[in-house]
Structures are given as structure tokens and as C-alpha cells.
Chains A and B, each alone.
Chain A
Amino acid sequence: MDGRVGLRASRRAAPTPRVAVRSSPRHRARVREQEPVVSAMSGSGLGKENKAGSSTPLRHRPNAFSELDNATPRVMLRKIIQNQPQVSPLALQTVQLEETEDARPEPPSQRTSSTVELQLPDLVPEDASVTTFRMTRKRKKLSISEFERAADKRLPQNQAHSTLDSTLVRSLRMSVGSVMAPDTVEKRGLLRRPQNHKAIDIAAFEGGVEQNMLQIKAQDYLVDLQTSSMTGTTTIRTDAEVVLNNTELFVEPQLGEQNLLAVEPQLSDSKTSAQRSNTSYPAHEKARLEGLVSRVSTDERRTLRFSEKDLITDHEHVDGITQKTPAKQGEEEQDHSQQNDPMEQFSESEEMAGTTEHHADAEYSEHSEKKLSRKAVSQLTAAQDAGVEMEMTPSEGGVAEGTEHQDSPKAELQMAGSPGGHSPASYSLEKPGAKPLKEAVEQTGEIERGTITGVLDAAEEEATDDESDKEDHESEEISMKTPMFVHAAAYRPQPVLSPPHPVKSASPELPPQPVRAKPVPKSSGAAQRKTREPEIASSLIKQIFSHYVKTPVTRDAYKIVEKCSERYFKQISSDLEAYSQHAGRKTVEMADVELLMRRQGLVTDKMPLHVLVERHLPLEYRKLLIPIAVSGNKVIPCK
């Protein structure tokens, strides 16, 4: 607006320091009083610190207000606030900026409106303050001397001099003037401070609001807060669908099962977003082989992840599969676990959770499958150990390491050293490393769940024999890893167990190439000779599939499903290889995976990759994949 510009320019030209001093702190104080939470007064740099009352700004500027003993801005502000209607913070900020400008009477103006500033209590702007301020903007010229005079009289005078064009403007002036102490020492430095209000207002405001709300109602508002905060950080387009992409890091899940919701905040948000996204992207699911699994089931998955106890109860339907576990358990050879039963339960629940994860992340399987297999496995294992365990024992850590060792033989299978930590992160989700998974699950067997260790065992066996087909092996890992990973993520925050340990051990492994001299599994000794092509454990596929279908499925159907999933993984791995080769590389990178997802229609202009990542991956992996997630935000609720 011209008025504003004019004011600004004039302000800079030769504003009275007094005026400037008066206006800026007054604005800030006023804003602060009305919006204690909002720290929008950033212009002068004081706003940021302002969370408290009006006295804050004063303190920051001792020189300016040293003479305000009698009429503290606080008192002034109080009067103003009592008499003025509340306005939205955003509008207020805009207003505030304008106020600031208007408060700087620059060039000699013909108005004698300066008296306006004095009126405090009367000011009740009839209209919205925004309107008021806009009107003030029109007043370009205000004589400084007049302004000062007005400021001098400001205290109790309730004169209704309407030299101004409107009472509104006058009221504005009055409020502004009242805050300022006429005798305030002028500070040149203060002149320019309020200039940057606009730039920071909204962001600071949102932050302040967020904090305020968080403090007041921690959990109920988390969703809203996170959304708003994330909106600033993510690049979600304002699209109807995109709006549904709730990318909060921590959102309280609206689960019926509550138990460990608080404990697993990171999962809750994914769950919520999953819930929302479920309806949005059904097509993707159907398109896939795993499309049999509806997105809605991700809710279940999340639920599983969230509550350990719930997992047990929720897996009733999985009990049928549990029977197979004992049979398969005998097959295990590299079992480090001595707790098969609990592990079964755990693995079952994990797989259940992982199933949804698996399906949901089927698209993510493209994420550098090859490279991440090993790391993913070890990572998952470690993560699982960290998260799952109800009774964490050091054995878990040991087992995790053992699992990692197992990974080393698989290292050969990997296409090439995975370049980034992020790849492993995403990959680990996908990779249901049969062998290491089993181990990890076994290790975490402490948890009393009737999981299906058999699945893992079978996978382990097959994985052991694999040296031939990287892709299949990796796909195995993918399916196996998912459930473990999910569970690991679910249980990670539990303080009882020593989660940080395994997690830490896992994370460092991600980036470096785990070329360990892992002891070759005994089972693979003879079996390796025939170099059997690695396959995804059929029991795993059955488990995942039946979990989502929720209806009885014939064995033939399972076979077909298995064939389809195998074909699917082959195809995507081949695509990934072609893409990386197209870029002249020998290593599959995240760019390749993203390209594939874009081609598949999972990543579009409306749905960026990191939104999907946030939606489907646990926090640890998100941190690896999305820089924002590791920007040092404080997690609320922090536990």
C-alpha cells in the first residue's frame, strides 16, 4: 500500500527516535500482551524472546524505558487490551506492522491527530482492527512534534480529538501512543527493528501457537499442531489429497487400543496419516500384488506397532499360523534364540505389523533393495531388539550382532555398497532378511507372543542357501524385515528395555559397508552347493496375506500370491538396475527408487516422496531419509 510504503520510507528518513522507540516497544508489548504466545515481534529481534508479558520487551530495552516508571507500558497495554477487542494473531501482526509504520510520523504532517494516541480506554475500535489499521495506513503524514505532544498527554486523557480521519485510526493511535512513554529515550537502533515483522510473523506465530497449545493440551492438539508445523517444513502442495498427507512426526493415534500410544508417538502419527491416506490412495494398493492388502489394514498394523499388549490380542487370527511355528522351529539352525515361544509371538506380531508395513511399503521395496539387504537386516534386527523386547536382555544385543554377522554373507549379494544411510534406512524396511530377521526375532523372543517363528525360520533357511540370486534373496529380506522393523519401531521407545543400545548398534551399521567376516551358517554348508534361488518364505506371505484379507484363503491362492510377489520383486529390481545404469551408475540409489515410484504412480506432483516416507516409515528411518526429521525438533510428548 502506498501509505505504508510512504510511512516506511518516511520512517527511515528521519523518524524521531522517540517516536520510533515508542512505537516499536509499544507494538511489541501490545502484541505480546494480546498474544503472549506469539513471538511475532521479530522485527526488532525482541519478539522472539517474547513469550511472557509486556514487561519483557521493556526489560530488553532498559534504556528506552528507564523513565517509564509512572506509566509503564504494561499498564497502558492492560488498559488497551481491556478495551479493545481480540483480533486474530495473524491479522494483528499485520496490523502491528502497520501500526509501527503509522506510529512513525515522519515528515511534517498537517494532522494534529497526535492527540489520538493518548486515548486508551476509549479505544474500542468498532471495526476489526485490521480495518482500523488499514485506515491508518492511509495517513501518510503525521507531524512528529504533534505526535510527541500527544504522547506527552497520553496518560489519562481520554480526549476524543478526531483530527484523524476516523475514530478507528484515532483509537489505533491512542493505543499506540499510550504504550509509549513520552520521555522514553530515543533509540536509533530501535527504529529499524520492527521492519521485519511480516517476514517472520506467521512462522513465529505458528511456532508460538504451537508451543502454547502443546503446553496446554499436550496430546489432543498434537495432530493439529504437527500438521501446521509440518506444513511449514514440508513442501506439500495445497491439494485436497495432499492435505491428507499428514506428515507429523508425532501424532497421537486415535486408536481404540490405547495402551502404548504415548510410548510410541512416532508410530501414532504414521498411523493417523495412514488412516487418512488410506482413503486417498486405494488405487495404489490395488495395483499391487499386495494390493490385496487394503490400506486400511495399515491401521491395524500401526495399532500393532503401537501396543505390545494389543499385538498379542490382535494376533488371534494369527494363532492358526502359530501352529506351524513349532514345526519350523526345528529347522532353524542358526538360532541364537533360546526363547522360541516368546519370539514366535513377537515375530508373529511383528510380521503382522510388518505385513501392513510390507504392503504399504511394497512400493518402497524399490529403495535400493540390493544394497540395503544386509544393512537393513542388521538394522532391523537391532531395531527390533531395541523395540520389541519386553524384557530386554543383553542377549539381544549379542544376538543382534550375531544377526549382523549373518548379514555379512548376504553382503555379497548386494549389488554394491549402498551409498547413503538413507537408502539403508528405507531398504531395511523393505528387507525382510530371512535369516537375520529370524535371528532378530528370536533374540527378541523374550517377548511373550505367539509369533510365527516358523516363518522366520523358513526364511532363514532359504536365505542361508542363497548365494545365487541377489534379487530374490533381497526380496526375502524385504518381506522378512518389514515386520521386524515395524515391531522394532513400535517398541523402541519403551524405556524398560535397553532400546538405545540395539538401535545405536543398528544405526551405525547403516552407513558403513558391513563387510564382516560372518561365520557361514552351518545350514548353508551343504545347501549352498546347489545354490538354490532365494525365495520369500511362503509362510510369511501367507501370514501377511491372510492378515489383510481376513477371510479364509486356499493354499492355491497362496501359491499364486507368492508367485506374483516374486515376479513383482524381480521386475522392480530389474527396473532399478536399468535406472541406475541409465544414470551411468553401478549402484542403485534413492533417485532410482524415486524414479521407479514415480513411474508406478506412487509419487506424483501431489504426493512427494518424503510424505510417503513419513507416512510409512518409522521415525528412525525417516530421520535418515528426510533431513527435516533430524533438524533437532523436540519431540512431544517426549518420553
Chain B
Amino acid sequence: GSEAAGGEQRELLIQRLRAAVHYTTGALAQDVAEDKGVLFSKQTVAAISEITFRQAENFARDLEMFARHAKRSTITSEDVKLLARRSNSLLKYITQKSDELASSNMEQKEKKKKKSSAAKGRKTEENETPVTESEDSNMA
């Protein structure tokens, strides 16, 4: 009864998510198509979106495993970085982004705490980001 309804609801939700992923994939594919001058068939887009969806499930499970491995109950950026280890370039990119986020968070805190020019000076320093290398290990 209630379980079945909950299950159905869950199924509906999953379908909606799938549709959202599919739509986003289509939009991105279109951008790439315009950019590179190639065309994407519908099957391709559908395949990509399905893969993305399933991979997202895998990621979620792995992330939860990683968080539990670190005896935590919250998934943090550390878990995400661990997940991205498979691809070197991806890992670097994520690390860089997370550093940027962390620094911007710190900046906001600093701004709140002290609204001095020193904080602004620090901000300009942190804005420099390392150049990303394009090495990709593909050792998944």
C-alpha cells in the first residue's frame, strides 16, 4: 500500500531525473555540435544521458563508501576528489576548483570578519590559479 505508493513515487522521481539529465545532455551536445561543427544523433544523446545517469548512481554509491571509509557521515569534497582519482586531468581540475571554492569561502569569511584592505589584498593573491596539465591516465 504505502510502500507501493512510495515506490511508485520513487520511480516517478527517477524518471524525472532521467528526463532532466537527458535534456541537459541534449543541450550540451548541441553546444558541442555547434562548436565543433559535428552532429549528434538522437541515439547518441540518449546513450550519453543514460550512461551519465547510471554513472551518477555509481558515483553516489562510491561517494557514500568513501565517506564511510573515513568514518564520516557527510560526503565532502575530499570524497569527491578521491572519486576523481581515476582520471588525472579530472583530478587536477577538481582539485583546482575546490581550492578556488575554498579560497573564495575564506575570502567571504575574511570580508565579514574584517573589512580591511588587507583582506582585499589577499583576495587578489589567491586569484592566481595553477595551470592545468592535460595528462590523462584513463586508468579506470
Contacts of B82 in A (CB 8 A): 578-579, 582
Given contacts A571-B139, A582-B78, contact A591 B69 (CB under 8 A): yes
Decide if B70 touches A582 in the complex (CB within 8 Å): yes
- A599 CB-CB contact with B under 8 Å: yes
Interface centre among A567, A582, A598 (most CB of B within 10 A): A582
Contact size range, B:
10 to 19
A582, B62: Cβ atoms closer than 8 Å: no
Tell me whether B85 and A578 are in contact (CB under 8 A): yes
Which A residues are CB-close (under 8 A) to B75?
none
Query: Closest A-chain residue to B139, C-beta based?
Result: A571
Q: On chain A, which size bracket covers the interface?
A: 10 to 19
Q: Do most interface residues of chain A lie in helix, strand or loop, or is the interface mixed?
A: helix
Q: Are B139 and A583 in contact (CB under 8 A)?
A: no
CB-based contact B70/A583 at 8 Å: yes
Interface residue A595 (Cβ < 8 Å from any Cβ of B): yes
Report chain A residues within 8 Å CB of B114: none
What are the residues of chain B within 8 A of A582 when measuring CB–CB?
Answer: 66, 69-70, 78-79, 82
A579 to B69, CA, bound (A): 8
The distance in angstroms between the C-alpha atoms of A226 and B55, with both chains bound, is 39
A-B contact count (CB 8 A): 25
Q: In the complex the two chains form, is A595's CB within 8 Å of B139's CB? A: no
B87 to chain A, nearest CB (A): 12
Closest to A605 in B: B61
Q: Which chain B positions have C-beta within 8 A of A598?
A: 65
Over the window 39-76 of chain A, the binary record of Cβ atoms lying under 8 Å from chain B Cβ atoms (1 yes, 0 no) is 00000000000000000000000000000000000000
| Cα(A616)–Cα(B79), bound, Å | 31
Chain B residues with CB under 8 Å of A571's CB are: 139
Contact between B71 and A595, CB atoms less than 8 A apart: no
Closest-by-CB residue of A relative to B137 is: A571
Q: Nearest chain B CB to A383's CB is how many angstroms away?
A: 31
Docked-complex contact B70 and A584, CB < 8 angstroms: yes
| Chain A residues numbered 592-626 whose CB sits less than 8 Å from any CB in chain B | 592, 595, 598-599
CA of A567 to CA of B139, assembled, Å: 9
Kindly state whether residue A575 has any CB partner on chain B within 8 Å. yes
**Shortest distance between the CB of A588 and any CB in chain B (Å):** 12
Q: In whole angstroms, how far apart are the Cα atoms of A591 and B85 in the complex?
A: 18
Residues of A within 8 A of B69 (CB): 579, 582-583, 591-592, 595
- A599-B62 contact in complex given A582-B78, A582-B82, C-beta closer than 8 Å: yes
Residues of chain B from 97 to 124 with CB closer than 8 A to chain A in the complex: none
Q: Which of B53-68 contact A (CB under 8 A)?
A: 62, 65-66
Pick the contact of B85 from A575, A583, A592, A595 — CB < 8 Å? A575
Chain A nearest Cβ from B62, distance in angstroms? 6
Q: Give complex CA distance A598, B78 in Å.
A: 19
Closest chain B CB from A11 CB (angstroms): 36
Tell me which residues across on chain A come within 8 A of B71, comparing CB atoms.
Answer: 583
Chain A neighbourhood of B85, CB < 8 A: 575, 578
**Whole-angstrom CA separation of A88 from B70 in the bound complex:** 49
Of all chain A residues, the one with the shortest Cβ separation from B85 is: A578
Bound state CA distance, A582 and B79, in angstroms? 8
Q: State the CA gap A595–B79 with chains docked (Å).
A: 13
Shortest beta-carbon distance from B42 to chain A in Å: 29
Mask for A332-360, Cβ within 8 A of B = 1, else 0?
00000000000000000000000000000
Among residues of B, the one whose C-beta sits closest to the C-beta of A575 is B85
A323–B128 Cα gap in the complex (Å)? 62
- CA of A571 to CA of B66 in the docked complex: distance in angstroms? 18
Could you tell me the distance in whole angstroms from the C-beta of B34 to the nearest C-beta in chain A?
A: 37
- Distance in angstroms from B67 CB to nearest chain A CB is 10
How far, in angstroms, from A567 to B70 measured CA to CA in the complex?
A: 27
The residue of chain B having its C-beta at the shortest distance from the C-beta of A592 within the complex is B69
A567–B140 alpha-carbon span in the complex (Å): 12
What separation, in Å, do the CA atoms of A584 and B62 have in the docked complex? 18
Provide the residues of chain B in CB contact with A583, threshold 8 Å.
69-71
Which residues of A lie under 8 Å from residue B139 when comparing CB positions? 567, 571
5 more contacts with CB within 8 A, not counting A571-B139, A592-B69, A599-B65, are A578-B82, A582-B66, A583-B70, A595-B65, A598-B65
Residues of A within 8 A of B (CB): 567, 571, 575, 578-579, 582-584, 591-592, 595, 598-599
The 6 closest A-B pairs by CB, nearest first: A571-B139, A583-B70, A582-B82, A595-B69, A583-B69, A582-B70
Give me 20 A-to-B residue pairs in the complex whose CB atoms sit less than 8 angstroms apart, sorted by A's number: A567-B139, A571-B139, A578-B85, A579-B82, A582-B66, A582-B69, A582-B70, A582-B78, A582-B79, A582-B82, A583-B69, A583-B70, A584-B70, A591-B69, A592-B69, A595-B66, A595-B69, A598-B65, A599-B62, A599-B65
